[in-house]
Amino acid sequence: MLSFICCWCVLSACQEDLVEPVYYGSVTGTVLDGRTNLPLANVTVTTSPATSSYLTNAQGKFQIENVPAGRVAITATKADYQQVVANVTVYEAQAADVSIVLTKSTTVAPTAPTRPAPANQATGQPTTVVLSWHPVNATASDSLRYDVSLFESNNVNATALLTNSKDTTVTAANLKYATTYYWQVTVRNTAGTSARSPVWSFRTADLPNNRYLYARTVAGNTDIYSSDNTGGNLLRLTSAATVETAPQLSPNRDVIAYTSNASGQYQLYTMNRDGSNQRQITTLSVEGYNNAGIGYHWSPDGAQLIYAHYDQLYRVNRDGTGLQLMATAPPGRHFRECDWNVQNGGRLVVQTVGSSVFNSELYLYNSDGTNPILLVGDLPGRLDSPAFSLDGRSVLYSRDVAGFNDPGGRQLDAHLFLQRIDGTSTVDITAGATGSLGKALGTNDIQGRISPDGFRVIFVNRVNDDLSPPEVWTMDLDGRNRAKLFSNAFLPDWK
């Protein structure tokens, strides 16, 4: 018996804490006239937490199903009667019964508002929506005041959008995509009598399938945005006072990685595609020589990320676990930008830099961080942003063909190049196959990435004094069909 009790105690101690489920019951009730004790029909009955709005039948009765268990306030409202709120406790799978007595109001109560906008049960609404309603049989002398409460689906906590206001409109902002919201208006006159509207609802639109991510600096603050190829469906995904930059959508398109200096150093973060669920996943910073949070990349399967931490290259799982050192840079050098391709057995391309940003080299590694091979040696002018082609046989990068070795990192005439990893061919994409230069003089083509179809490049073009805002462009792999996508944008990602 003693052994049985000990085992039972151990097993009990090892049980996991379970999330409490939400239980439901129901509420039935009768509304009576306080003077005659007769049933009252057409009484509006609502609940808090909100469920819906109900009317009593000819026998003064009502029934409300699927009411969350717990303490519930039942509000009964009828014109010319004083509003009554009765509290009842609802238990799981049981019907709570309540009797409500209404008495005639000495002051005529206002009539509940009607004609909601958006219309009740409207769909496809934006995440910032103006709610409006109309008073009934009201005059200017009534001096009506309004309260507006908003409930998110599956959340019993109300948000007070408006309190004691004369306005008949209110803006609900920062709503979630693909979510149903419920709202209710309470009207009150100068005598203090009030009435509540029915509970109305609307549903926001589905999350736009934006394929473009980029960083943008507005009023000195750098944040992450997404949009379609015209700049439409623009979503600002971050809004902190710190720097959020270098966004990359995972290969399976479910979460966005980015870096932020919110902790004082640039760390890797992930978030949902609508900007929600932002979480830090690294404790070793994404920093080094001329690396302010830009030296990282997703694995081809989206399960891991590689990133540069000074002279070390690390691999980490997308949830922040499994940190592993992959490689160490040559003496006196730091890792910077990188890419990972699954083709040809899996390869990494990694940039290393010395203390001067123009002192740059590109190396190929096996996907496990072994066997470094020099791909592009230190050349005059700045060398940046290595990225694999889709087949893994070539690497795209930018280089200042003016050979301007500026300690501050300025470039005069940066071009995009596509070089085969076996060294057999190097193509100046910016100059084009015919040698005709498509970019404007005095600008730089930088931060290039291969498009998802493998036949175009997305990149940044910027005036070489770095005073004008950068712009995101695309062009074919032969340099033709240059087209601007976005103004004031940099570090683009296209999935």
Is pLDDT at 361 greater than 60 in this prediction?
yes
Amino acid at 383: L
Long-range own/partner contacts, residues 457-465 (CB < 8 A, 24 or more apart)? 457/396, 457/416, 457/429, 458/485, 458/492, 458/494, 459/398, 459/416, 459/492, 460/489, 460/490, 460/491, 460/492, 462/490, 464/410, 464/411, 464/412, 464/413
Q: How far apart are CA 324 and CA 85, in angstroms?
A: 61
Residue 7: pLDDT over 50: no
Question: Tell me, what CATH number does 413's domain have?
Answer: 2.120.10.30
Asked, for residue 476, whether it belongs to a domain, the answer is yes
Chain-centroid distance of CA 181 in Å reads 19
6 pLDDT tier (thresholds 50, 70, 90): very low
What single letter denotes the amino acid at residue 177?
Answer: Y
Which residues lie across from 312 on neighbouring strands? 309, 328
Q: Decide if 402 is inside a domain.
A: yes
Q: Answer yes or no: do 72 and 122 share one domain.
A: no
List CB contacts of 91: < 8 A, sequence separation 6 or more. Answer: 25, 69
Compute how many other C-beta atoms are within 10 angstroms of the C-beta atom of residue 342: 14
Is the C-alpha dihedral spanning 213, 214, 217, 218 positive or negative? Answer: negative
> Do 191 and 221 reside in the same domain of the chain?
no
**Domain final position from 176, 204, 232:** 204
The sign of the dihedral angle between the CA atoms of 423, 429, 434, 436 is negative
**What local confidence, expressed as pLDDT, does residue 12 receive?**
45
Residues 329 and 352 in one domain: yes
User: How much of the chain, in percent, has pLDDT values that exceed 90?
Assistant: 79
Q: Is the pLDDT of residue 149 over 90?
A: yes
421: pLDDT strictly greater than 50: yes
CB burial string 136-159: b at 16+ within 10 A, e below: eebeeeeebbbbbbbbeeeeeebe
**In this structure, are 453 and 351 located in the same domain?**
yes
Mean pLDDT over residues 206-220, rounded?
A: 95
What's the whole-number mean pLDDT along residues 147-158? 90
Round to whole Å and give the CA distance between 365 and 345: 11
Q: Are 299 and 274 in contact (CB under 8 A)?
A: no
Q: Is 5 within a domain? A: no
For the residues 261-280, what does the mean pLDDT come to?
A: 96
- Residue 1 pLDDT: 40
Q: What is the mean pLDDT of the chain?
A: 91
| Torsion angle defined by CA atoms of residues 145, 146, 147 and 149, in that order, rounded to the nearest 10 degrees | 180
Among 71, 13, 206, CA closest to 126: 206
* More confident: 113 or 139: 113
Same domain, 187 and 58: no
Q: Is 93 in the same domain as 142? A: no
Q: What is the Cα–Cα distance from 225 to 77, expressed in whole angstroms?
A: 47
Same domain membership, residue 217 and residue 198: no
Give yes or no for residue 140 having a pLDDT over 80.
Answer: no
Split at pLDDT 50, 70, 90, the class of 11 is very low
Return the SS3 of 142.
Answer: helix
Give the mean model confidence (pLDDT) for residues 111-136.
94
Q: Is 356 helix (H, G, I), strand (E, B) or coil?
A: coil
| Three-state SS sequence of 422-448 | CCCCEEECCCCCCCCCCCCCCEEEEEE
CA distance 267 to 293: 7
Residue 436: pLDDT above 90? no
In a domain, 186, yes or no: yes
The percentage of the chain sitting over the pLDDT mark of 70, rounded to a whole number, equals: 93
pTM: 0.71
What is residue 2's predicted lDDT score, i.e. its pLDDT? Answer: 43
> The domain containing residue 313 runs over which residues?
212-494
Q: Could you tell me if 191 and 97 lie in one domain? A: no
Examine the domain organization and report whether 250 and 335 are in the same domain: yes
13: amino acid identity, one letter: A
CB atoms within 10 A of CB 3: 7
Specify the pLDDT at position 142.
66
Residue 23's pLDDT is 87
Average pLDDT over residues 110-132: 94
Is pLDDT of 17 > 80? no
Q: What is the pLDDT of residue 107?
A: 62
Cα dihedral 464, 467, 471, 475, rounded to 10, equals -10
Q: How many domains does the chain have?
A: 3
CATH number at residue 121: 2.60.40.10
Q: Are residues 200 and 220 in the same domain?
A: no
> Tens digit of pLDDT for each residue in 369-379?
999 999 999 99
380 and 282 co-located in one domain: yes
Pairing type for strands 53-55 and 44-48 reads antiparallel
Residue 65 pLDDT > 80, yes or no?
yes
Query: Where does 219-318 show beta strands of DSSP type E?
Result: 221-227, 235-236, 244-249, 255-260, 267-272, 279-280, 287-288, 291-292, 296-298, 304-309, 312-317
Distance, CA of 242 to CA of 409 (rounded, Å)? 23
Which of 48, 76, 102 is the last residue in one of the domains?
Answer: 102
Q: Kindly report, residue by residue over 226-246, the tens digit of the pLDDT.
A: 999 999 999 999 999 999 999
Q: Is the confidence at residue 8, as pLDDT, over 90?
A: no
In terms of pLDDT, which residue wins out, 274 or 16?
274
- Same-domain pairing of 196 and 216: no
Residue with tokens 């932020």: 260
Q: Does residue 1 fall inside a structural domain?
A: no
318 has pLDDT over 60: yes
Structure tokens given for 94:
């049981």
Least confident of 135-139, 332-336, 465-469, 471-475: 135-139
